[in-house]
Chain A
């Protein structure tokens, strides 16, 4: 059984239809590359999975249950994490608070006052996660906006992994990174796969996609036009699908 299953997903913005009935399956522990030209609908498709965009038609199911009507918060609770291209970080808040944004652990002070944010625990667990990923940030107490692009990317990944997700969607995670940082992100994806976490990797960098993914799905004008096992294809074929040479 697939972990994630999309059937006939359609989405329009005003008069513009972006997704024309997309079917997609992702198995547990699978790393799937999603490629396509600009405007093919990749980001819209991903936001339909995370629930940021409610779909107009079709169903999204996860782990055997229908999640089509659930909001982003509920889907995140179920184990779907997305790392956005714009990183979705709050630049003036510190590293630790960003990692726990939206799901702050709380404690009761004197057993009376409700829901005090447990800052000690946030700092402790954020530091653990940073160490586990082998990321170098000057301090977890500085505002995220003061970090480099690569560091911010790793903070975004750290945030996604802190809550033991089942599926992580990464939108162009390597686009803005230095060569060494790209390698560590790809290693991270492999590490996640070993832990049984599924990944959908959206990227224009086919090298990275071929290195990390077992299966490559090509989106063109809001349709899935190819679904290719990596071992059965090559870059030339994928490119020809992307540019529409296969009709």
Chain B
């Protein structure tokens, strides 16, 4: 078990935090009439995973870019743009249902590719490029939709968000599939090795013949693509192309990646760790909801978790250096 965690770079601490949080929330959760804890009901568990699925996929995108010492602040906004783009093609223009999928994935990938292009060609810091894209994508989403939700998607699309094959919500299957493929790419392909090496020491990556520019370009495109997938799921879940979808989700996604063990300064990243990080955020949000904690306080809690996670990581890595 420990070997497995080591090999997948999952931190034991993050698993302990998740377990502790689940226990804490179960204890603090309200009790129903027949004496069961609301938090522990199967329905609530599905709610957690369903909520986690959307920003969990964003967090996978964040893991790819952060492992390579990059950052993508535009994830949440691109999610919104993807949501609106897919819905507009099908609902507003009346194109066949699958254009909702094509539109969302394409919009996400294009926004990501544009991020990558400006970062690699223009040598503008990723922080600035993706911060700018955060504004651009959100603005574009509002323009396309005239600031209103685009309702009424076909059943084929709703299936992706609302159906429960074998009793399990479809987004959960999508999340698991995306996570497994991403884990395979990051941990077991040359592309993944090069991503970590690039984040670890860019000069080393370049000196060993890795095409650093192409690598970055692809990483930001992957990140945008993930925002597209998340946008599609969001649209299907709420039956709306929503221009405000994914607001502040980059905060959740980046926090999930960092508490999952991805090094903010690059060189280390784990998709499975990120999934645990996403679950931690999902459990935290859900538990606070059940305890009827106001959304305002939840925002504060998530922000505090992010800062604490990076702080702890800094303390740890300083400890390593002194050794």
Contacts and interface: CB of A to CB of B under 8 A. Distances in A.
B267 A90 contact: yes
B314 interface: no
Contact of B201 (A76, A82, A91, A106): A91
Interface stretch (B118-126, B191-199, B251-259): B191-199
Contact of A103 (B201, B208, B263): B208
B189 A117 contact: yes
B204 to A, nearest CB: 4
B267 A103 contact: no
Given A72-B209, A82-B207, A102-B208, A89 B190 contact: no
A106 B200 contact: no
A103 B189 contact: no
A115 B188 CA distance: 8
Interface in A38-75: 50, 52, 71-74
Contacts, number: 79
Interface string B157-193: 0000000000000000000000000001000111011
A173 B165 CA distance: 62
Nearest to A83: B207
B202 to A, nearest CB: 10
Contacts of B194: 102
Most B CB contacts (10 A, CB to CB) among A84, A89, A101, A119 go to A101
A104 interface: yes
A90 B212 CA distance: 14
A97 interface: yes
A93 interface: yes
Contact of A72 (B200, B207, B267): B207
A23 to B, nearest CB: 25
Given A93-B197, A93-B200, A101-B197, A88 B189 contact: no
Given A72-B209, A92-B263, A92-B267, A116 B200 contact: no
A87 B204 CA distance: 8
A128 B162 CA distance: 54
A104 B190 contact: yes
Contacts of A116: 184, 188-189
Interface residues of A, number: 30
A76 B209 contact: yes
B209 A92 contact: no
Contact of A115 (B190, B204, B267): B190
Contacts of B289: none
Nearest to B263: A92
A116 B181 CA distance: 12
B73 to A, nearest CB: 24
B10 to A, nearest CB: 16
Interface string A95-128: 0010001111010000001011101000000000
B114 interface: no
Interface in A3-17: none
A90 B188 contact: no
B190 A90 contact: no
A157 to B, nearest CB: 14
A88 B196 contact: no
Given A92-B263, A104-B190, A117-B189, A52 B207 contact: yes
A70 to B, nearest CB: 11
B205 A52 contact: no
Interface of B: 184, 188-190, 192-194, 196-197, 200-201, 203-211, 263, 267-268, 320, 323
The 4 tightest CB contacts between A and B, nearest first, are: A73-B209, A102-B208, A90-B200, A92-B267
11 contacts: A52-B206, A77-B209, A84-B203, A88-B203, A92-B268, A103-B209, A106-B189, A113-B184, A115-B189, A116-B188, A116-B189
